[in-house]
Amino acid sequence: MRNPSRHTEWLSLVEVSGPFLAVPVLEKAFPQGLDIVETPKRRRFRAAYEEWCDAIDEGDPLLSELHREWIRLVFTEILEYDGEVLKTEAEVVGAYTVTSPERTETFSPDWIVRGPNGGKPRLFVSIQSPGTDLEKVHKGDGWPTSLRDRMTALCRAHGVRLGLVTNGERWMLVNAPLGATSSDVSWYARLWFQEPVTLKAFQSLLGVRRCFGPPGETLEALLEKSLEHHEEVTDTLGEQVRRAVEVLIQCLDKADADRNRELLRDVSPTELYEAGLTVMMRLVFLLCAEERGLLLSGDPVYDQYYAISTLRAQLAEEADRHGPEVLDRRHDAWARLLAVFRAVHAGIEHETLRLPALGGSLFDPDRFPFLEGRPKGSNWRDFDATPLPIDNRTVLLLLSSLQLLEHHGGAMLLSYRALDVEQIGHVYEGLLEHTVARVPSVTVGLIGSKNAKNPNITLSELESARLDGEAKLLALLKEKTKRSESAIRNALARSVEDATYGRLLAVCGGDTALADRIRPFANLLRTDAWEDPIVYRENAFMVTLGADRRETGTHYTPKSLTESIVQTTLEPVAYIGPAEGKPREEWRLKSAAELLDLKICDPAMGSGAFLVQACRWLAERLVEAWATEEAAGNFVTIDGDVRDDAGDADPMPADLDERITIAKRLIAERCLYGVDVNPLAVELAKLSIWLVTLAKGRPFGFLDHNLRHGDSLLGIHRLNQLTRLKMNPDDGPFQQRIFGQNIADAVAKAIDIRKRLRSIPIRDIHDVETMARLDMEARKALKAVELVADAMIGEALRSNGNVRVLDLALDSLAVQAGEFLKGNEKIGESIAREARLALSIDLPEGKPPRKPFHWPLEFPEMFVKPRQGFDAVIGNPPWGYALTPTEINYLKKNFPNSNYKLINSFKFFIERITQVTDNKAGVFSFVVPSSLLEHIGCKDTRTILLKRSPLVFVDCGDGMFKGVTQACCYAVISQKPATEDHVITLVRLDKSSSASTSAEERIVRKLFTVTTSDVLARKYNVISAGYEVPGIRKGFVSIKDVADVYDSGIDYSRAKLGKAVFYKAKEPEHHLDHKVLRGRNVDKYSLQFEGIWLRHNWQDIQRQQKKEDAKSRLKVNEKIYLRVPKILVRQTGDKIIATVDTDRYYHQKSLLCICPKKGISAYYLCAVLNHPEVTRIYRQMTMQKGKVFSQVKKNFLEQLPVPSSTDATIADKIVRLCEVAVKKGSGGADRQAEVGELEKLVGELFTHRKAEQDDK
């Protein structure tokens, strides 16, 4: 077992919020431990602290001077800064300020730490009065943000990563990296003497030696290195929670088995997993709420019998005192969890304990009644609970997985008060990729490599492979576990220890025969959280991977990205001025009523990261608007309404923290909408919003009417699609069906109900219950209409793109729908049955039917005049969602502006977003792959966007999402039709924290602006920086002007086909077979054939294999391969690498081909491409900073510059030298000299052409 790290102790004694220093980084930076604080210094320091405390307690008239002197002492005595670097002069410090969004207030540091001789600031210092709450929003200056947030804004505005805010007792270090999530850590002066290690850490990290030490060892450098470990921390917590859910499911399964499988008889595997995950989500909420003082923490009765935050310590103490075996035999902790779940949902009314009911679907006891041992459909108020026999040991594991973070160096206690809502969402969003399945036969869990996620295999498979011989068994285990053969062989050869067999026998329920069957494989089995081998007996429930959210193209969006996107998107709808093109100083914030009438939607919300940030940002603007109204003499009520006078209304609280909370609740209830295809994601999004809006004594905000489950792409987006029963009602003179008025009336009724719902102010649980009843009424009003819409979409899927088949089906449905909407329930049952079948086409057996999302039915008020959609739509839609053939045909047919060449879910989402955003003044944004900017297959999507008014395209580069190498970008688009001279801006989001660049360059690097007409004139409407790279547009021709570029490598769709047509040999098997090159065969001016051949009869082989597999396809561009001379360019490498082919080689996809036009020398172009200047320009064009290009792309290659020579002698010499170099290949002693001469000549051409431009 690894020894605990010496840094774990002090890290657990300070308050950390967000990504801070990782233990491995600290161990490397302080191999000998933290710096020592000398005893005499510590004594003097303690005496000064006590004097300062006495001055506060006694109200010393000189407190202001003593306070400042105490802080100065910390900097000069402990941190050892002198007057040369610690600047306190007003004229120096005043140069650094940040202004509020409304430009009404500024924030400046009191002191700064800067390098000697007036160097760049390294640390901003803000000194606050004793007792000031550094996290509280303070009233009086019209800027509703905390001191922490102001310091973060100040640091980012001036490119200074670190800021320190202190009231003398609390010392909050703010870490504000550009392009990444901010964080803060707080030391408390009193703990410096109670826990001296915290003082040592404070001195070691913030002292002068660390501040001005070697560049790689400064605090900024340590924080940068630690960012690499931050994802590991989140993943570790996610893995802990996953294992805890797995153990809980095992316990539920055991309880079910003990009750003859009656307990979970009516519970589906999916529902069981949802229940397990919901339990963990409930616990997370309770930990957050208790630590923030929003429940009854501190009440002795609550702490002893209800509190979750103290239960883990109580159980751990019990285990230490009596042994862990005692926990196995006790079950009271589970009953305590169920009791507090009920208490939160329904409240407590007792003379010794009172807790207002919070309500909410998350804690509803009837959602998963089997958790309480009740049958499905029972009501918790009427039916007695018989809590399941979940032992205390399991409950201790559940709580430990949430409260203790196990990592390198030991376990750390997590603070949920400091944990970001986004971090919690990240953890749980990762768990959405799992589900529960019932195993038909005995199954075991195997130890897998990092490339195999918790592999499982049936025992019969293992036994069968073992009977077939060792080789078969090894091959099977390698395939399943992705482990090395030697590791597997060693595990099989190693004898099974008695202790291991004992544990195996226990999990087999004492079944010796079963344990003996598993024993030969015992050393291959992974273990659960209790170190027991994982064995699932016949018919047991098992946690397994479901639809991996990364495979479905879903990726968690980092907070740093959501902040940037949300602000850029919402400013044009929250202010008057941006849409009109006015400078920022002329913007005017909309009124409070206008802000509360904004409608913001995320069509693929996941855990709600974008909605949470939108809630925060709009709430701050709403508080600013209230302040403006009050300054004008108006009265603001506690419900956010603005009046001329108070009347009988309660006033808005004066405390700004309370105002922010009220504003967040109002924004969440009135302005936010969201959709997700995963019902668990909807619950997770609710949890995220509840965590940022919860107020003490107030119930959960009602969100069910605006956060909905469904497939955003599958469903109608306009009501006349349904009233006319046509997927494209504009494609012909279609009239409203007879039943169209019934639908319109039902929608109008639902809108009226939802208006009443939205007008209810939430005071207590009774208001929430009233809203829930109204929501059910609205849903009931549209239930029949929604069924007809489902059937319509089902027929569209079933028709597989055949218009005639669909028209006939919809005509038949029209007759049935007319009868059904008149009240014929039997026909309704028939429609429902057919709809379920149609919506399940080509889905795996057992998977529920698709859930269409009908926008004008789910959010009807958003799609009737005067509204024509949402004011803003934001989000990170799925990339590369795994679509079935039926879904592809449906999307291609119904999203005609997104089906050119590249079929990708993000393109369809963009078109859907344009359909549901207000078509007059709406703004939308999205995060998608950077291929949107230049991929040929995205031409149709770019055309959609360019018809509107793009405000900005921001290239985020690669590495934004863990495990995703593809670069991403985001765009902010206004729905206003674009004029020809509309200006588009492309910028680079620079995540570098290098001190060598200015703050403006590092935050966002502007690449170029261009008009809409310019982009539309380009080939494929490419939006890329390459068109504006200095020295390319003038004085040079581009590659595409002098040559044709082909992405023409041999492509095949099936591995079996590839094996049949390719072979490797020194000599061809047939004299007509073709030589084939791969990318690695091409080097600078040379190529090396390695013996890969393509059979001459490849077409016959393809035809034969296509009979067996219709998707077998081989693409061979023979006409291009036969052209000579041609240039071959490698797709990957640390530079552009090219050579000339004169032997008619065929080549694979890892090579690009350039065929010169008539009169252009292939050797001249090859020499230009191989020059370092071209690589430099390519990097500038593509914004790639990595050591190796992710891929050399055809679009950018076509734009590369070719300098022409006015001196024919130089051009001829370049051609001749290149030809010699290519013929010699990689051999020849004088080849290096020739290549050097080539680079010199081509370099001179670049220099001369640039000089000519400069002269002009």
User: Do 355 and 407 have their domain in common?
Assistant: yes
Residue 992: per-residue pLDDT: 44
Long-range contact set of residues 1182-1188: C-beta below 8 Å, sequence gap at least 24: 1182/1024, 1182/1025, 1182/1026, 1183/955, 1183/957, 1183/988, 1183/1007, 1183/1025, 1185/957, 1186/958, 1187/1134, 1188/1132, 1188/1133, 1188/1134
pLDDT in tens, 265-283: 888 888 999 999 999 889 9
Structure tokens at 831: 């429609």
pLDDT in tens, 659-676: 999 999 999 999 999 999
CATH number of the domain that 128 lies in?
3.90.1570
Alpha-carbon span 873 to 914, nearest angstrom:
9
Query: Residue 962: pLDDT band by 50, 70, 90 thresholds?
Result: low
Indicate whether 1252 pLDDT > 70: no
Query: Residue 959: pLDDT band by 50, 70, 90 thresholds?
Result: low
Query: Residue 409: pLDDT band by 50, 70, 90 thresholds?
Result: low
Helix axes 559-574, 609-631, angle to 10 degrees: 40
More confident residue, 1008 or 250: 250
CATH number of the domain that 1161 lies in?
3.90.220.10
User: Do 828 and 750 have their domain in common?
Assistant: yes
User: Do 66 and 191 have their domain in common?
Assistant: yes
Indicate whether 1028 pLDDT > 80: no
Percent of the chain with pLDDT over 90: 42
User: Do 383 and 464 have their domain in common?
Assistant: no
Indicate whether 138 pLDDT > 80: no
pLDDT in tens, 1105-1144: 888 887 778 888 888 888 889 999 998 877 899 999 999 9
Chain mean pLDDT for the chain: 86
Alpha-carbon span 1053 to 1135, nearest angstrom:
29
Residue 615 lies in a domain: no
More confident residue, 1255 or 1095: 1095
Alpha-carbon span 913 to 602, nearest angstrom:
9
Residue 995 lies in a domain: no
Alpha-carbon span 916 to 12, nearest angstrom:
48
Alpha-carbon span 134 to 1201, nearest angstrom:
55
Residue 921: per-residue pLDDT: 84
User: Do 408 and 505 have their domain in common?
Assistant: no
Query: Residue 770: pLDDT band by 50, 70, 90 thresholds?
Result: very high
Residue 869 lies in a domain: no
Query: Residue 552: pLDDT band by 50, 70, 90 thresholds?
Result: very low
Residue 774: per-residue pLDDT: 95
Residue 577 lies in a domain: no
Structural domain count, the chain = 5
pLDDT in tens, 49-66: 999 999 999 888 899 999
Which of 400, 434, 468 represents a domain boundary (last residue)? Answer: 434
More confident residue, 641 or 1051: 641
Contacts of 116 (CB under 8 A, 6+ apart): 84, 85
User: Do 280 and 399 have their domain in common?
Assistant: yes
- The number of helices, as runs of H, and strands, as runs of E, in the chain is 48, 45
pLDDT in tens, 714-761: 999 999 999 999 998 887 777 778 888 889 999 999 999 999 998 898
User: Do 262 and 399 have their domain in common?
Assistant: yes
User: Do 501 and 387 have their domain in common?
Assistant: no
Residue 764: per-residue pLDDT: 86
Phi, psi of 4 (to 5 degrees): -60, 145
pLDDT in tens, 447-482: 998 888 789 999 999 999 999 998 999 999 998 998
Residue 12 lies in a domain: no
Mean of pLDDT values over 35-53: 90
User: Do 402 and 503 have their domain in common?
Assistant: no
Query: Residue 1029: pLDDT band by 50, 70, 90 thresholds?
Result: very low
User: Do 342 and 444 have their domain in common?
Assistant: no
Residue 1175: per-residue pLDDT: 86
Indicate whether 42 pLDDT > 90: no
pLDDT in tens, 1140-1167: 999 999 999 889 999 999 989 999 999 9
Residue 612: per-residue pLDDT: 94
User: Do 1040 and 1114 have their domain in common?
Assistant: yes
Residue 868 lies in a domain: no
Give the C-alpha distances (Å, rounded to integers) separating 360 from 106, 433, 687, 765. Answer: 40, 24, 10, 9
Residue 1030: per-residue pLDDT: 43
Indicate whether 1188 pLDDT > 60: no
Which of 213, 243, 264 represents a domain boundary (last residue)? Answer: 213
Mean of pLDDT values over 598-604: 96
User: Do 802 and 753 have their domain in common?
Assistant: yes
Mean of pLDDT values over 1064-1079: 93
Which of 178, 213, 248 represents a domain boundary (last residue)? Answer: 213
Mean of pLDDT values over 560-583: 89
pLDDT in tens, 797-842: 999 989 999 999 999 999 999 999 988 999 999 999 999 999 999 9
Residue 199: per-residue pLDDT: 94
Domain containing 394 equals 229-434
- Which of the listed ranges 187-196, 243-252, 316-325 does the model predict with the highest average pLDDT? 187-196
Alpha-carbon span 1013 to 978, nearest angstrom:
9
> Is-contact 1184 1163, C-beta < 8 A?
no
> DSSP alpha helices (H): ranges in 977-1110?
999-1003, 1012-1017, 1039-1042, 1055-1061, 1098-1108
Residue 410: per-residue pLDDT: 64
Query: Residue 1005: pLDDT band by 50, 70, 90 thresholds?
Result: low
> Is-contact 693 703, C-beta < 8 A?
no
Residue 288: per-residue pLDDT: 87
Indicate whether 678 pLDDT > 80: yes
Residue 999 lies in a domain: no
Single-letter residue type at 187 = W
Residue 864 lies in a domain: no
